[in-house]
């Protein structure tokens, strides 16, 4: 275990001061969960991560359940992230798992075995030779699935990613109820929660990050403030005590 801590390599989060908060970045070849409600910036965090990974020569696959590849490229362009360049040179593959999701839902209704819930992402992961994988997002896959089946499938997903020595970012939104989120939380190596909260002193709504867990890493105890602007996510108080 001490060896794991010592040897842990990192991949930059792609978010300015964020790396400083978690000893240099996300642990390599591990799965990190980013959870939060709609509009907190989960997809932006993923785009910044993928951009930075491509920039450093890592190949990436982005499994998108909500947006089309075109929409993601537009969102990236607005943030001045040159993702289209990486799609063109083959470093980045954006895989739409949008329509397949609908099939999956029908499938579940037809009481097909639960082992099929992550079929599409698992197929993509199995075939892919990428270094980095993003699944945006998990919430799309939990309709009508029992807790036991979800746990089993989550473990299978994480295990498959680990076996392929990929570094992954798994995003979950609030379509995933708290109980499912807790299951997901146990399966992963690290977890970050993004949320908005009204500051009781100023009355202003703030955006906050909570590093819930990151194995083998010193993490900030308090919530870390961030903003979203034309450069994407920016950490506001990186010197927070640990
Ligand atoms: N240029 C910008 N300036 C300020 N806020 C922005 C800008 N671009 C996007 N946002 C914010 O980011 C949110 C979308 O982030 P996104 O990562 O797509 O959210 P989600 O967590 O749902 O994936 C928008 O709702 C908006 O609040
Ligand atoms: Mg999103």
Q: Is residue 150 part of a domain?
A: yes
Q: Which position has the higher pLDDT, 238 or 62?
A: 62
pLDDT higher than threshold 90 for residue 115: no
% of the chain exceeding 70 in pLDDT: 85
Range of the domain at 6: 2-235
In the predicted structure, residue 23 carries a pLDDT above the cut 80: yes
What total of structural domains would you count in the chain?
Answer: 1
pLDDT of residue 109: 52
Largest CA distance in the chain: 52
Q: Tell which wins on pLDDT, 105 or 22.
A: 22
Residue 177 phi/psi, 5° resolution?
-70, 170
Closest-lying ligand to the alpha carbon of 194? 1
Of 207 and 112, the one with more pLDDT: 207
Q: Which atom of ligand 1 is nearest to the CA of 136?
A: 23
Give the lowest-confidence range in 35-49, 97-111, 141-155.
97-111
For ligand 1, say whether the CB of 105 is within 6 Å of any of its atoms: no
Chain-centre distance of CA 183, in angstroms?
Answer: 16
Determine the Cα–Cα distance for residues 119 and 176; give it in Å rounded to an integer.
18
Give me the CATH number covering residue 65: 3.40.50.300
* Nearest alpha carbon to residue 62 among 77, 43, 79: 43
pTM, full prediction: 0.91
pLDDT tens-place string over residues 56-105: 999 999 999 889 999 999 999 999 999 999 999 999 999 998 645 555 55
In a domain, 112, yes or no: yes
Residue with CA closest to ligand 1 atom 24: 39
Q: Does a structural domain hold residue 242?
A: no
Distance 230 CA to ligand 1 centre (A): 9
Q: Which residues of 49-86 are buried (b: 16+ CB within 10 A; e: fewer)?
A: bbbbbbeeebbbbbbbbbbebeebbebbeebebebbeb
Which ligand sits nearest to residue 233's alpha carbon? Answer: 1
The 10s digit of each residue's pLDDT in 183-199 is: 899 999 999 999 999 99
* pLDDT value of residue 104: 55
The confidence band for 239, taking pLDDT boundaries of 50, 70 and 90, is low
The closest ligand to the CA of 75 turns out to be 1
Residue 106 domain-assigned?
A: yes
Nearest CA to ligand 1 atom 1: 230
The answer to the question of residue 240 being in a domain is no
**Ligand 1 pocket residue status of 134, Cβ below 6 Å:** no
To test the ligand 1 pocket, which listed residue (14, 44, 47, 176) has its Cβ within 8 A of the most ligand atoms? 44
Domain membership flag for residue 241: no
Q: What is the pLDDT of residues 39-58, one digit of tens each?
A: 999 999 999 999 999 999 99
């Amino acid at each position: 275990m001490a060896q794991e801590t010592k040897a842990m390599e990192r991949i930059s989060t792609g978010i300015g001061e964020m790396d400083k908060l978690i000893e240099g970045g996300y642990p390599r070849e591990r799965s990190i969960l980013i959870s939060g409600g709609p509009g907190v910036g989960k997809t932006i965090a993923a785009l910044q991560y993928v951009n930075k990974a491509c920039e450093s020569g890592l190949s990436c696959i982005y499994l998108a359940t909500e947006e089309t590849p075109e929409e993601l490229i537009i969102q990236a362009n607005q943030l001045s992230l040159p993702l289209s360049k990486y799609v063109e040179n083959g470093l980045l593959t954006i895989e739409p798992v949008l329509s397949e999701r609908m099939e999956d839902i029908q499938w579940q209704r037809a009481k097909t075995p639960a082992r099929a819930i992550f079929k599409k992402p698992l197929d993509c992961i199995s075939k892919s030779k990428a270094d980095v994988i993003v699944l945006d997002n998990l919430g799309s896959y939990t309709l009508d699935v029992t807790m036991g089946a979800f746990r089993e499938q989550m473990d299978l997903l994480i295990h498959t990613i680990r076996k392929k020595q990929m570094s992954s970012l798994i995003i979950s939104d609030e379509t995933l109820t708290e109980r499912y989120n807790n299951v997901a939380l146990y399966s992963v190596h690290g977890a970050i929660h993004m949320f908005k909260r009204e500051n009781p002193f100023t009355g202003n709504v703030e955006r906050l990050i909570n590093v819930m867990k990151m194995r083998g890493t010193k993490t900030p105890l308090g919530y870390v403030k961030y903003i979203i602007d034309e450069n994407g996510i920016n950490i506001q108080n990186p010197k927070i005590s640990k």
